[in-house]
Structure 1
């Protein structure tokens, strides 16, 4: 670690220690979200403070549209972004700061604290940062993450100091803005999903569509999804399982392990193409993930297949459990 990196880490640790001294979870509800508007960052950043129920004390930062949509699904039951069948660690997407005990720290986190010449004592005073990214295993913060969290926490701190002296706010969103005089906050609405939802994708391969249109329509009602596993490929990427299952018979028509979101999209199209050429066009395709719905809406429209968004893919889930028992 060079001196620049060490100074960046110290800046983050210093402001985080100031936040920890406030114990904001003692007067901030876990249902309240802070929306940070930084002057040099186009995307609003959402922070959730946990610890109201004294189970886990941490700050969760959601800096990207994707991470905020995942949060929306968790808190407000909007459309699934990550399939609930996914390996638990690979479902999360946030920059997390834990206020832990010495025993809960990894060796790397302990070495970082010592390298920065900090000497915390007592439970809840050992600071640990983890980067969770959906479809990946947890990792340490990158340099850009360190700088972003420092800016967010420095913007959040004066507002938390102010709110500590006021009655508890029962609103869902509290916006924090920067101006030439400093920072100010106000209660306002914010749609985690609608502000960040994906656009529909036009299916461009008209040659393939023309070929598939010649296939007869079957009575099959297909359930389709992909979920992240605990398996890694040769490049240490988390592998996703793509599955297509008959809604009525629970027959597994296809499954495949792939890594990388572009490869997932490509494989979904390839598997559906093969399926249609062998079995005909299904009566319907049921999905529950936003990206699959966006990818397949135009595809299904052109092939006169009913696309259904359904969070309960019961036949697929039962078939998945049976398949995993065999594979394991």
Structure 2
């Protein structure tokens, strides 16, 4: 169950954030120059990425643990022509972000906190606010746990940035080093040093249907001259559901007949739905009812994870491709929905 951050927690978080802002960490760090901080009581470090070196979108994102680092890697490498869209990538990550932005960007709940704390922000790009990103949900206000972790991480980040600013430590970020800050329980002191970036690529399983009878049955279906596009996409909207303690960012499985430009299937997913199951639950009945399609175009790693083995077995071409037509249809649909 969600526990809201107390006003005292918000005060401490804003205090350390404003201290960090005074250092202007974006003057010394690029978004790819990571700071790893091993907080007391946590098994894995948090990874801090500073934004704003190019003069836009100032702030800091915190990624928790090795899964968070894999999310950072996914976001950092997003934007390729035949890869997932930037929006889908952003909605598929989990992180906590501090932004220095404009007043109209600040969630109403945080405007209330700012007022209760007596803070005064004036001017463009001067409003400080925080968002929690979680896969399957729209960005939302921090809860008590998140506010606490970010506060402690910012205390460590402040010390790390100050050490870099004062040239007390050297890190060769361009050669793959990152700055580590670890607490030594024996000496009861914090240690900082340059070290390697851990392997962090997000992993996807490659599924093999174990039912040999079903595999053979799929393979024996007649092949039809049809090309499909299969995509997992987040809708540009927010849905409130009492079953969840934060608003949803709906995700859908979309199947498009590529030559005819029509949507054959659109299934709304829940945050807890497993992507592999959703994809196979479409693919298997469809092939059994209609035959083996000639080609499937896809760009989501989950589609390849679910289908690469069975497509190869059944003689179906599975091709990584740009799905601009799917994007256009989605945007047109969202425009009609308002």
In structure 2, the CA distance between the partners of 1:202 and 1:70, relative to structure 1 (3 Å rule), is same
Matched, 1:156 2:157: yes
Who is 2:291 aligned against?
280
Deviation of 1:43 after TM superposition, in Å, equals: 3.9
Counterpart in 2 of 1:218? 224
1:232 has 2:236 as partner: no
Tell me, in whole angstroms, the C-alpha distance in 2 between the residues paired with 1:325 and 1:15.
Answer: 41
Unaligned runs of 5+ in 2: none
Distance 2:87 2:29 in 1: 31
> Structure 2 CA distance, aligned partners of 1:4 and 1:274?
47
Residue 223 of structure 1 and its aligned partner are, at CA, apart by 2.1
Relative to structure 1, the CA distance from residue 45 to residue 286 in structure 2 (aligned partners, 3 Å threshold; closer, same or farther) is farther
Structure 1 residue 321: deviation in Å? 5.4
User: Please, which moves more after superposition, 270-279 or 36-45?
Assistant: 36-45
TM-score, length-scaled by structure 2: 0.78
Q: CA deviation at 1:210?
A: 4.3
Instruction: Tell me the CA shift for residue 67 of structure 1.
Output: 4.9
Note if 1:185 corresponds to 2:193.
yes
Q: Unpaired segments of 5 or more residues in structure 1?
A: none
What is the number of residues matched between the two proteins?
323
Q: Measured at CA, do residues 18 and 183 of structure 1 come closer, stay the same or move farther in structure 2, by a change above 3 Å?
A: farther
Q: Distance in 1 between matches of 2:4 and 2:317?
A: 59
SS at match of 2:250: strand
- Determine whether 1:259 maps to 2:270: yes
Whether the aligned pair in 1 keeps the contact of 2:78 and 2:86 (CA below 8 Å) is no
Instruction: Answer whether contact 2:63 2:69 (CA < 8 A) is retained.
Output: yes
Query: Paired residue for 1:119?
Result: 119
Maintained 8 Å contact 1:73/1:81: no
RMSD of aligned residue pairs (Cα, Å): 3.7
Q: Can you list the C-alpha shifts for 1:109-128, whole angstroms capped at 9, x where unaligned?
A: 1322344x453454566431
Distance of 1:3 and 1:292 partners within structure 2: 37
Aligned to 1:14: 15
Q: What CA deviation, in whole Å up to 9, does each residue of 1:230-253 have, x standing for no partner? A: 253755533223222344454433
Structure 2 partner of 1:312: 322
Q: Report the 3-state secondary structure (helix = DSSP H, G, I; strand = E; otherwise coil) of the residue aligned with 1:238.
A: coil
Contact 1:217 1:283 in 2 (8 A): yes
